[in-house]
């Protein structure tokens, strides 16, 4: 679908003249907004919460509105400071020190936010896990990070293989009782002091580990440092266009990077009210959230927009959404038809933003003051340089497809892949960070996403590594071999499709395939379970034994199979 450009949004914006700022901006300008620029002492949790709690004009402002079908809670900046100070004291009491990994495996809840900020206040590294993870996914992450402490609930604890995790010294249970090495969050908090001496750290000290999937191997720990706050703050201004008095809603779970960078840091560094919704998706409830909480800035994902779209205009019409001023999207390609729908439903443009777990912060975006070209991700934020490069690291001219790459050195860039320097280095060539996405740039500097260059699957905006799913599949007693691909899907972007061969003695049946699907779902997580499974006689492999997923995909899509010279006989 070809669509005309959509002119800039009216009103005054934090980034009025993109080109001018792009040509002159220096990250040092942004640093003046932080206290550490005078003291040299830093802690992202201080800048996010405590700074506002110390400001008489800000401390009683609502920082967090938590809303779930069964629970409503409102916390001010002063409340969040107190709760996170208390939890930091709990951590100290249990010997958590700077640099230790403390993981959170919790549903979205006020406790999550207090605990997360408390971890950062001690100088420890927080590792948030998506609530839907099952045992294998939890095990891989806790093992690799050598996490010392885990905060979870009694229900989720069943998916934690405690006996296999020697480094895990302590488990804190939200809504649970003291027993053995499990301590109760509520009991500990009751007795904890409200005064905590924050651990001042260096800008380059670690604060966050987000695990993400590649096309090979287990999930990788993407390591972020306190310095990222500079970009979280600045993109909160330029891209989210946050202004005093805004009520902001990011729909992402804090188990994923969008839910921390833009569900915690960007809004609170900018001192706005942050809305968190618990519970499952429902079109009616989502619209009701916007109207009841007077949400003005809303950051979501194409999958969610497509679901709202298919719920129909009648559902939308029941709600007053006039509080909305600015809408943004991330995670997968934003279809032009979704933008068209957004214009009708909200009388507003949906602004696409592009970035990754590894980049830590937004990089290529559409800005309210800029023309949108539907289908384009927009232009790089000031202070960064994006380009299209070939496999040798040379820049390509406009309109030529290649690797989407970013010049190294932006503030929020990952600093390491946990315990895997080789993997970390493999991202870079000639001073460029290579994203793994293919794209082109038009003559006017707009970037256009074309697809992934590797086998990583993007299903409903969530990144799934085929290797993890294949590994789980072959653990099933009936499965001999497995190859997993992303298959295009109108609502989910891609769905996971698995090709398998069966062990001797097993024959294909609906029951067996459903059992295999459930096996992956219960072992890894619901979003990683294949929606389609096809039984084959063989799985195509290279002579060195690598599964040829590209060939599986060509078969699936009825495309030419390309070069198969490496195919095993």
Binding site for ligand WT7 (CB under 6 A): 212, 257-258, 330-333, 352-357, 377, 435-437, 449, 452, 458, 463
Q: Which residues contact 161 (CB under 8 A, 6 or more apart)?
A: 135, 138, 139
Do 351 and 373 contact (CB within 8 A), yes or no?
A: no
Q: What minimum distance in Å lies between the beta carbon of 238 and ligand WT7?
A: 16
Q: What minimum distance in Å lies between the beta carbon of 140 and ligand WT7?
A: 16
CB atoms within 10 A of CB 515: 13
Q: What minimum distance in Å lies between the beta carbon of 337 and ligand WT7?
A: 15
Q: What minimum distance in Å lies between the beta carbon of 404 and ligand WT7?
A: 8
Question: What sign for the dihedral angle of Cα 433, 436, 439, 440?
Answer: positive
Residue 101 in 3-state DSSP? strand
As a whole number of angstroms, the distance between CA 250 and CA 347 comes to 20
Residue 533 in 3-state DSSP? strand
User: How many separate helices (H) and strands (E) can be counted in the chain?
Assistant: 21, 27
Q: What minimum distance in Å lies between the beta carbon of 368 and ligand WT7?
A: 16
CB-based burial, 494-511: b 16+ in 10 Å, e otherwise: bbbbbbbbbeeeeeeeee
As a whole number of angstroms, the distance between CA 277 and CA 66 comes to 6
Q: Which of 403, 563, 558 is nearest to 487 (CA)?
A: 558
The residue (of 252 and 547) whose beta carbon lies closer to ligand WT7 is 252
The residue (of 34 and 433) whose beta carbon lies closer to ligand WT7 is 433
The residue (of 9 and 258) whose beta carbon lies closer to ligand WT7 is 258
Q: What minimum distance in Å lies between the beta carbon of 332 and ligand WT7?
A: 5
Q: Which residues contact 40 (CB under 8 A, 6 or more apart)?
A: none
Q: Which residues contact 505 (CB under 8 A, 6 or more apart)?
A: none
Exposure on the CB side of residue 147, measured as CA atoms within 13 A: 33
The residue (of 83 and 332) whose beta carbon lies closer to ligand WT7 is 332
Do 43 and 226 contact (CB within 8 A), yes or no?
A: yes
Q: What minimum distance in Å lies between the beta carbon of 32 and ligand WT7?
A: 27
The pair of three-digit structure tokens given for residue 365, joined into one six-digit string: 């975006």
CB atoms within 10 A of CB 16: 12
The residue (of 84 and 357) whose beta carbon lies closer to ligand WT7 is 357
Strands 432-441 and 428-429 turn out to be: antiparallel
The residue (of 198 and 330) whose beta carbon lies closer to ligand WT7 is 330
Q: What minimum distance in Å lies between the beta carbon of 178 and ligand WT7?
A: 37
As a whole number of angstroms, the distance between CA 102 and CA 146 comes to 9
The residue (of 165 and 401) whose beta carbon lies closer to ligand WT7 is 401
Q: Which of 495, 476, 500, 471 is nearest to 485 (CA)?
A: 495
Do 350 and 339 contact (CB within 8 A), yes or no?
A: yes
Q: Which of 49, 211, 249, 224 is nearest to 128 (CA)?
A: 211
Q: Which of 293, 245, 234, 266 is nearest to 25 (CA)?
A: 234
Our CA angle for 7, 9, 10, nearest 5°, is 120
Q: What minimum distance in Å lies between the beta carbon of 353 and ligand WT7?
A: 6
Q: Which residues contact 250 (CB under 8 A, 6 or more apart)?
A: 258, 259, 262, 263, 267, 274, 299, 300
The residue (of 142 and 356) whose beta carbon lies closer to ligand WT7 is 356
For 388, phi and psi rounded to 5 degrees?
Answer: -115, 125
Q: What minimum distance in Å lies between the beta carbon of 352 and ligand WT7?
A: 5
The residue (of 50 and 352) whose beta carbon lies closer to ligand WT7 is 352
The residue (of 363 and 539) whose beta carbon lies closer to ligand WT7 is 363
The pair of three-digit structure tokens given for residue 26, joined into one six-digit string: 């220096």
Q: What minimum distance in Å lies between the beta carbon of 223 and ligand WT7?
A: 14
The residue (of 111 and 332) whose beta carbon lies closer to ligand WT7 is 332
The residue (of 235 and 296) whose beta carbon lies closer to ligand WT7 is 235
The residue (of 88 and 381) whose beta carbon lies closer to ligand WT7 is 381
């Amino acid at each position: 679908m070809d669509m005309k450009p959509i002119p800039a949004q009216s009103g005054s914006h934090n980034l009025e003249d993109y080109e001018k700022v792009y040509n002159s901006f220096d990250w040092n300008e942004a640093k003046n907004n932080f206290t550490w620029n005078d003291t040299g002492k830093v802690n992202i949790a201080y800048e996010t919460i405590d700074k506002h709690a110390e400001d008489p004009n800000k401390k009683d402002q609502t920082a967090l509105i938590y809303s779930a079908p069964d629970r409503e809670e409102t916390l001010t900046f002063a409340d969040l400071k107190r709760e996170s100070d208390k939890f930091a004291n709990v951590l100290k009491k249990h010997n958590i020190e700077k640099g230790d990994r403390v993981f959170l495996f919790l549903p979205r809840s006020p406790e999550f936010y207090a605990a997360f900020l408390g971890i950062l206040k001690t100088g420890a590294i927080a590792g948030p896990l998506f609530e839907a993870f099952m045992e294998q996914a939890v095990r891989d992450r806790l093992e690799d990070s050598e996490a010392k402490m885990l905060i979870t609930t009694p229900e989720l604890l069943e998916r934690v293989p405690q006996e296999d995790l020697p480094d895990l010294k302590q488990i804190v249970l939200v809504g649970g009782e003291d027993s053995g090495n499990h301590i109760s969050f509520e009991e500990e908090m009751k007795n904890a002091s409200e005064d905590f001496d924050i651990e001042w750290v260096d800008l380059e000290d670690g604060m966050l580990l987000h695990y993400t999937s590649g096309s090979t191997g287990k999930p990788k720990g993407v390591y972020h440092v306190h310095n990222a706050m500079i970009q979280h703050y600045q993109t909160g201004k330029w891209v989210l266009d946050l202004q005093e008095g805004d009520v902001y809603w990011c729909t992402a779970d804090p188990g994923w990077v969008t839910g921390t960078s833009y569900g915690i840091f960007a809004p609170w560094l900018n001192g706005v009210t942050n809305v968190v919704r618990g519970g499952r998706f429902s079109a009616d409830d989502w619209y009701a959230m916007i109207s009841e909480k007077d949400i003005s800035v809303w950051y979501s994902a194409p999958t969610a927009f497509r679901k709202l779209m298919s719920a129909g205009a009648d559902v939308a019409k029941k709600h007053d959404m006039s509080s909305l001023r600015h809408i943004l999207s991330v995670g997968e390609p934003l279809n032009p038809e979704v933008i068209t729908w957004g214009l009708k439903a909200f009388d507003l443009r949906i602004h696409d933003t592009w970035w990754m777990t590894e980049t830590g912060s937004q990089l290529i975006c559409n800005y309210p003051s800029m023309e949108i070209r539907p289908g384009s991700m927009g232009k790089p934020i000031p202070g960064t340089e994006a380009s299209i490069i070939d496999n040798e690291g040379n820049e390509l001219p406009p309109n030529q497809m290649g690797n989407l790459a970013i010049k190294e050195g932006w503030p929020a860039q990952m600093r390491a892949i946990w315990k895997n320097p080789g993997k970390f280095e493999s991202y870079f060539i000639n001073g460029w960070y290579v994203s793994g996405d293919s794209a082109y740039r038009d003559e006017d500097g707009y970037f256009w996403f074309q697809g992934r260059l590797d086998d990583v699957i993007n299903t409903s905006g969530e990144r799934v590594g085929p290797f993890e799913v294949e590994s789980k599949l072959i653990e099933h007693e009936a499965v001999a071999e497995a190859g997993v691909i992303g298959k295009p899907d109108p609502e989910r972007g891609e769905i996971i499709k698995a090709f398998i061969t069966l062990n001797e003695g097993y024959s294909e049946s609906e029951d067996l395939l459903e059992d295999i699907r459930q096996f992956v779902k219960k072992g890894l997580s619901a979003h990683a379970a294949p929606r389609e499974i096809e039984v084959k006689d063989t799985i195509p492999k290279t002579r060195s034994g690598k599964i040829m997923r590209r060939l599986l995909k060509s078969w699936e899509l009825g495309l030419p199979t390309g070069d198969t010279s490496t195919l095993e006989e």
